[in-house]
């Protein structure tokens, strides 16, 4: 038995060594095994052998057999390069088999790797992209907001759970998740419910922004479980909704929620792949970073139609150029009617041109940091004291709403158009098991303007007109304003 084991270990040595000394090594092992009987000698023998393997196997692989060294390329027949046969035997059939299998595996692994590379998920915080309803009839052109937004993300967005740290699924998974979310049929049993409730409690306690409330939520979930209130749930979706209601009853936080997905929720978020970033970059470059129109309207009114707030690391120069070309305008109209959000850094970057001192820019999804202030004054900028108008529609969403809301609250802009869509907060999604997850608000940014922001209700315009008429209305307002001066 032990001899067989050692014979197997000998296969670790390169073939030239095995051919020359394999049998002798085995014989030495037999000799020692025969002479060193008993427990301790046997242990010592094996320790010796393992140490020997560890030392000599690598050395053997570094060693070049003399035959190879002898075969130098300088030996030629009549000046022509020639090859020498070093091995007399052809390789074993087994070697061909393993070689073939290994090659197939490598090729398959490579192609699988390419297909399953994670989607680009943005770097810090992507404001919601496309809401699901808009995904179908999105406006023409590239990238209404982010070309890599998945439908899964859109679903979470619709549910009010979208993470600041972008959280994505492969499109195929997302499709399944979307399709199955409606037709959930599984009835969770007591044990499964217990697991989900335990997971929810653990996550809420660990991540919820307010510890006291987290404790209350945990107690409420337990109490309902004990009272048998959860027995009413007939399927996963109903159970998730029930837990959501229970959590909201005590927390009064509309962003705390339970999610059920019949399709498996992936257990980690894929890393953004470089090619996704490259694709985003190309799309942005081709689409002028969603700066759709930059022009000077009659009466020297600057007009910027911006359909998203793109990643500044890709689009900063485009943004700077656009703002520079509006620099001599007497008033500026920001057209955000088709803007569905993007990167908060870009929101702050553009807002920086509208102030002559750093101004706090409230963002409900992020902790207050240095980046929450505008980088004002911008050198050479003349727009800091010019009237600003922002056009909104019922599609204006998320990051675009932040831009509108903050400028309105700072009394820096007049909003014209329709009430915006109302996407502000987001919880961070925490996976509990393959089918359940819980969305938990983890941050609480300081809102200096009001206790409530635009979550769920949208940003109200100052001048309420139909989105289609908003540009004309804003132009009229601007002209009147300029005439007064």
Nearer to other proteins (CB atom), residue 13 or residue 355: 13
Q: What is the C-alpha to C-alpha distance for residues 144 and 130, in angstroms, rounded to an integer?
A: 8
8 A C-beta contact, residue 437 and residue 259: yes
Nearer to other proteins (CB atom), residue 51 or residue 104: 51
Q: What is the C-alpha to C-alpha distance for residues 424 and 418, in angstroms, rounded to an integer?
A: 17
8 A C-beta contact, residue 253 and residue 204: no
The correct pick among 5, 7, 19, 28 for binding other proteins (CB under 8 A) is 28
CA-based radius of gyration for the chain: 33
Q: What is the C-alpha to C-alpha distance for residues 219 and 196, in angstroms, rounded to an integer?
A: 15
Give 425-469 as a DSSP string. Answer: --PEEEE-SSSEEEEE-------SS-S--STTT-PPPSEE--GGG
Nearer to other proteins (CB atom), residue 52 or residue 356: 52
277 touches other proteins by CB under 8 A: no
The correct pick among 2, 5, 19, 27 for binding other proteins (CB under 8 A) is 27
Residue among 404, 403, 396 nearest 467 (CA):
396
The correct pick among 2, 7, 63, 82 for binding other proteins (CB under 8 A) is 63
3 touches other proteins by CB under 8 A: no
Element at 133 (helix H, strand E): helix 132-136
For residues 64-103, which are near other proteins according to CB under 8 A?
64, 66, 69
62 touches other proteins by CB under 8 A: yes
33 touches other proteins by CB under 8 A: no
Instruction: Compute φ and ψ for 33, nearest 5 degrees.
Output: -60, -35
- Binding map of other proteins across residues 225-244, x = CB under 8 A, - = no contact: --------------------
The correct pick among 32, 151, 248, 464 for binding other proteins (CB under 8 A) is 32
The correct pick among 55, 70, 223, 468 for binding other proteins (CB under 8 A) is 55
Residue among 397, 380, 360 nearest 129 (CA):
397
Nearer to other proteins (CB atom), residue 51 or residue 95: 51
8 A C-beta contact, residue 438 and residue 259: yes
Nearer to other proteins (CB atom), residue 57 or residue 213: 57
15 touches other proteins by CB under 8 A: no
CB of 88 to other proteins, least distance (A): 19
136 touches other proteins by CB under 8 A: no
60 touches other proteins by CB under 8 A: yes
CB of 66 to other proteins, least distance (A): 6
Q: Indicate the SS3 state at residue 171.
A: helix
Q: Indicate the SS3 state at residue 412.
A: coil
Instruction: Compute φ and ψ for 301, nearest 5 degrees.
Output: -95, 120
> Tokens 């869509």 belong to which residue?
421
24 touches other proteins by CB under 8 A: yes
> Would you tell me which residues interact with other proteins (CB under 8 A)?
13, 17, 20-21, 24-29, 31-32, 48-49, 51-53, 55-57, 59-60, 62-64, 66, 69
């Amino acid at each position: 038995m032990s001899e067989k084991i050692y014979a197997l270990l000998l296969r670790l040595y390169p073939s030239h060594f095995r051919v020359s000394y394999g049998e002798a090594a085995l014989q030495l092992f037999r000799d020692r095994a025969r002479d060193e009987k008993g427990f301790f000698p046997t242990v010592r023998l094996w320790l010796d052998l393992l140490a020997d393997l560890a030392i000599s196997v690598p050395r053997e692989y570094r060693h070049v057999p003399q035959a190879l060294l002898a075969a130098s390329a300088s030996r030629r027949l009549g000046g022509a390069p020639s090859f020498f046969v070093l091995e007399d035997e052809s390789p074993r059939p087994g070697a061909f088999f393993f070689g073939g299998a290994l090659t197939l595996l490598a090729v398959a692994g490579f192609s699988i790797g390419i297909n399953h590379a994670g989607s680009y998920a943005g770097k810090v915080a992507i404001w919601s992209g496309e809401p699901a309803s808009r995904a179908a009839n999105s406006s023409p052109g590239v990238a209404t907001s982010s070309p890599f937004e998945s439908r899964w993300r859109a679903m979470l967005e619709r549910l009010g759970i979208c993470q600041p740290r972008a959280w994505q699924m492969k499109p195929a998974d997302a499709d399944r998740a979307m399709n199955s979310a409606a037709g959930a049929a599984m009835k969770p049993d007591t044990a499964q419910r217990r697991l989900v409730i335990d997971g929810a409690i653990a996550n809420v306690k660990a991540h919820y922004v307010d510890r006291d409330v987290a404790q209350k939520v945990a107690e409420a979930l337990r109490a309902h479980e004990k009272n048998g209130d959860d027995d009413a749930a007939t399927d996963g979706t109903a159970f998730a909704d029930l837990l959501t209601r229970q959590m909201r009853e005590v927390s009064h936080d509309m962003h705390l929620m339970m999610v059920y997905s019949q399709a498996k929720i992936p257990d980690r978020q894929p890393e953004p792949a470089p090619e996704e970033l490259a694709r985003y970059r190309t799309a942005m470059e081709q689409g002028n970073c969603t700066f759709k129109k930059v022009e000077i309207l009659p009466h020297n009114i600057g007009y910027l139609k911006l359909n998203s707030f793109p990643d500044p690391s890709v689009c900063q120069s485009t943004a700077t150029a656009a703002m520079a070309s509006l620099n001599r305008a007497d008033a500026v109209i920001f057209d955000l009617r088709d803007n569905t959000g993007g990167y908060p850094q870009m929101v702050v970057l553009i807002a920086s041109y509208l102030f002559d001192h750093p101004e706090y820019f409230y963002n409900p999804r992020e902790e207050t940091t240095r980046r929450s202030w505008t980088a004002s004054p911008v050198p050479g900028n003349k727009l800091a004291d010019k009237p600003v108008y922002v056009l909104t529609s019922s599609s204006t969403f998320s990051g675009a709403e932040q831009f509108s809301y903050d400028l309105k609250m700072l009394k820096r802009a007049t909003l014209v158009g329709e009430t915006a869509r109302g996407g502000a907060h987001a919880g961070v999604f925490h996976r509990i098991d393959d089918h359940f997850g819980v969305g938990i608000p983890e941050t609480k940014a300081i809102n200096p303007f009001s206790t409530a922001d635009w979550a769920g209700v949208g940003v109200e315009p100052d001048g309420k007109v139909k989105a289609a008429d908003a540009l004309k209305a804003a132009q009229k307002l601007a002209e009147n304003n300029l005439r007064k001066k």
